Amino acid sequence: MKDERLLIKEEQVLERIERARRRKARLREEAITLAHGSGGKASRTLVEAVFLEAFGNPVLAPLDDAARLSVDGANLAFTTDSYVVSPLFFPGGDIGDLAVNGTVNDLAVSGAEPLHLSAGFILEEGFAVDDLRRITASMRRAADAAGVTIVTGDTKVVERGKGDGCYINTAGVGVLRRPPTRDVRPGDAILVTGPIGEHGVTIMLARGELDIEADLPSDTAPLNGLLESLAPFAVRRMRDATRGGVATVLNEIATDHGLAVVVEEAAIPVRPVVRGACELLGIDPMYVACEGRAVVVVAGEDREGALAALRAHPLGADAAVIGQIKDDPPGLVLLKTAFGGTRIVDLLVGDPLPRIC
């Protein structure tokens, strides 16, 4: 075969690339760019090269959604997240319920029962008190729905022009009940708890820059109740698919465990309105943020049981098995396209950027 020599060379190049990718991340930029906040490769590099470098310790090292702590015999989960969203109010939610649900979900996917939250506000001079009341009311509703209480907080006000109306930071603690075992292995099944990309597309449309109108609410929701329904099953990993979307979570699973993730495009639930908007913009829903969806890895034999349990819960009615774990090629996410071909799904560098034509 004429191409055999070429194939060998291509394989060598690919191996060289994989080696380059395994090297420790180095931050090249001299200043922070927006890409560092996108949840993709640039964010990861920033976290590894600056924060892990400075704070590195065994509890932080797994870089999971929440830290697992053992305090006087009690096993706790502890997490924090900051919320900056424009617009502050959008169909299906606002920055307030986002700030509660996001932190509740970080605890829930760690296998913890969320208990208490803190809430820190950074408010811009001139921000309407009515809007602040709307936000706190919605936080209260979200906290009640998730069964948590907001027990401590802080307020700072910055000069006009130095903030975007309102930023919120929440931290949360919970009791670890059933932490995922993290022993992901070939043959495990991968599920998502519902249709993907809805929050991200809702926000893009709500910004009003696109002149596209669609009837689509954000998927923001607390996942603790839904994920508790997985108690009877061998849950290996859970992550909520926020910034960077499902693609980013799948990549983390592939790299963390040195295994291949193989998913079927046709099996991934995406509502037509999300698909349509993404087609128009030339972006891939796999990278679009969700605020009420988790990716779950369960033992292969629990695949149907876990799916049925998720679907029995109102928030999991459209849950689906989207793929499975394989051993080769390690560290890669492969997608069988609906068209019948195969490609990899990599981390994005920054935010998905719309294409020009």
Partner 1 sequence: MRYVDEYRDAGKARALAASIASLCEPGRRYKFMEVCGGHTHTIYKHGLEDYLPENVTLVHGPGCPVCVIPMGRVDDAIHIASQPGVIMTSFGDMMRVPGGDGSFFDAKAAGADIRMVYSPLDALKIARQNPDRRVVFMAIGFETTAPSTAMTLMRAAATGQDNFSVFGNHVTIIPAIKAILDSPDLRLDGFIGPGHVSTVIGCRPYDFIAREYGKPLVVAGFEPLDILQSVHMLLTQLAEGRSEVENQYGRVVPWDGNLKALQVINETMELRPYFEWRGLGFISHSALRLRGSFAAHDAERIFQIPGSRVADPKACQCGEVLKGVLKPWECKVFGTACTPETPIGTCMVSSEGACAAYYNFGRFTRERVREATR
| Binding stretches for partner 1 (CB under 8 A) | 1-3, 7, 9-11, 13-14, 16-17, 20, 28-29, 31-35, 41-42, 45, 209-210, 260, 262, 272, 275-276, 279, 282, 326, 328-329, 332, 334-344, 346, 348-350, 353-357
Q: Kindly write down the DSSP assignment for every residue of 305-331, as one continuous string.
A: HHHHHHHTSGGGTT-EEEEEEESSSTT
- Token look-up 């931290």 returns 171
φ/ψ (deg, to 5) at 348: -80, 160
Residue type, 248: T
CB of 135 to partner 1, least distance (A): 27
Nearest CB to partner 1, comparing residues 24 and 28: 28
No. of helices (H) and no. of strands (E), the chain: 10, 14
Buried-exposed string 38-62: b where 16+ CB fall within 10 A, e elsewhere? bbbbbbbbbbbeeebeeeeeeeeee
Nearer to partner 1, 129 or 357 (CB): 357
Task: Please give the Cα distance from 322 to 335 (Å, whole number).
Answer: 10
- What is the smallest separation between the CB atom of 206 and partner 1, expressed in angstroms? 15
137 versus 266: smaller Cβ distance to partner 1: 266
Whichever of 69 and 280 has its CB closer to partner 1, that residue is 280
Are the beta carbons of 56 and 47 closer than 8 angstroms? no
| Angle of CA points 168, 174, 180, to nearest 5° | 110
312 vs 344, beta carbon nearer partner 1: 344
Residue 168 token pair: 């919120």
User: In angstroms, what is the minimal distance from the CB of 344 to partner 1?
Assistant: 6
Shortest distance in whole angstroms from residue 347 CB to partner 1: 9
Cβ 245 to partner 1 shortest distance, Å? 15
Smallest separation, CB 343 to partner 1 (Å): 4
Residue placing its CB nearer to partner 1 in the complex, 32 or 61: 32
If residue 279 lies in a helix (H) or strand (E), which one and from where to where?
helix 272-281
